[in-house]
A and B are shown apart, each in its own frame.
Chain A
Amino acid sequence: MANILVSIEHTAGKIKSPSLELLTAAKKSGMTVIGVSLGAGSKTAAAEAGKYGATKVYAFEDAALDNYNSELYFNAYKQVIDEAKPEVVLGTGSSSQKDLLPKLAATFSSGVVADATELSIANGKVTTKKPMYSGKCLATAEFVNSPIQFVSMRPNQLSVDAPADGSAEVIEKSVSGTDMRIAIKEIVKGASKRLDLTEANIIVSGGRGLKEAANFKLLEDLADVLGASVGASRAVVDAGWVPHSMQVGQTGKTVAPSLYIAAGISGAIQHLAGMSTSKVIVAINTDPEAPIFQKATYGIVGDATQVLPLLTEEFKKMLS
Chain B
Amino acid sequence: MKILVCVKQVPDTNTKVQVKADKSGIETNGIKWVLNPYDEFAVEEAIKLRDANAGSQLFVVTLGPKARVVDTLRTALAMGADEAMVVDAPESIDNHATAKALAAVITKEGPFDMVFTGKLAIDDQQGAVTQMIADFAKMPHASVISKFTKNDTVSTVEREVEGGSKEMIEIKGPFVLGANKGLNTPRYASLPGIMKAKKKTVKEFTLSDLGVSDSDIKVKISNFSMPAERAPVNMISGEAAAQVATLSKLLREEAKVL
Is the CB–CB distance between A114 and B127 below 8 Å? yes
**Bound CA span A282–B19, Å:** 27
Q: Closest residue of chain B to A186, judged by CB?
A: B168
Report how many residues on chain B are interfacial, defined by Cβ distance under 8 Å: 85
Residues on B with beta carbons closer than 8 Å to the beta carbon of A276 = 227, 230
- Interface SS majority for chain B: mixed
Report how many residues on chain A are interfacial, defined by Cβ distance under 8 Å: 98
Q: Closest residue of chain B to A318, judged by CB?
A: B248
Q: Which residues of B from 120 to 134 have beta carbons under 8 Å from A?
A: 122-132, 134
Q: Which residues of B from 123 to 179 have beta carbons under 8 Å from A?
A: 123-132, 134-136, 140-144, 146, 156, 160-172, 175
Nearest CB of chain A from residue B146's CB, rounded to whole Å: 8
Q: Closest residue of chain B to A281, judged by CB?
A: B230
Given contacts A103-B132, A244-B182, contact A314 B122 (CB under 8 A): no
13 extra interface residue pairs, beta carbon distance < 8 Å, beyond A297-B234, A298-B251: A112-B126, A112-B219, A114-B125, A139-B225, A181-B140, A191-B164, A196-B162, A226-B258, A245-B163, A259-B255, A273-B13, A281-B230, A297-B230
**Which 4 residue pairs spanning A and B have beta carbons closest together?**
A111-B218, A190-B164, A102-B128, A245-B164
A-B contact count (CB 8 A): 276
**Bound CA span A64–B236, Å:** 53
- Interface SS majority for chain A: mixed
Nearest CB of chain B from residue A19's CB, rounded to whole Å: 15
Is the CB–CB distance between A99 and B131 below 8 Å? yes
B222 within 8 A of A: yes
Is the CB–CB distance between A142 and B222 below 8 Å? yes
A194 within 8 A of B: yes
Nearest CB of chain A from residue B91's CB, rounded to whole Å: 12
As a 0/1 sequence over residues 216 to 243 of chain B, the CB contacts with chain A under 8 angstroms (1 = contact) are 1111111111110011011110001101
What are 13 sample pairs from A and B whose C-beta atoms fall under 8 A apart? A100-B131, A107-B135, A111-B96, A132-B224, A140-B221, A141-B220, A185-B168, A187-B168, A190-B165, A245-B164, A259-B258, A311-B248, A314-B245
Nearest CB of chain A from residue B153's CB, rounded to whole Å: 11
Picked from B37, B96, B175, the residue with its CB within 8 Å of the CB of A105 is B96
Is the CB–CB distance between A299 and B162 below 8 Å? no
Residues on A with beta carbons closer than 8 Å to the beta carbon of B1 = none
Residues on B with beta carbons closer than 8 Å to the beta carbon of A70 = 131, 140-142
B195 within 8 A of A: no
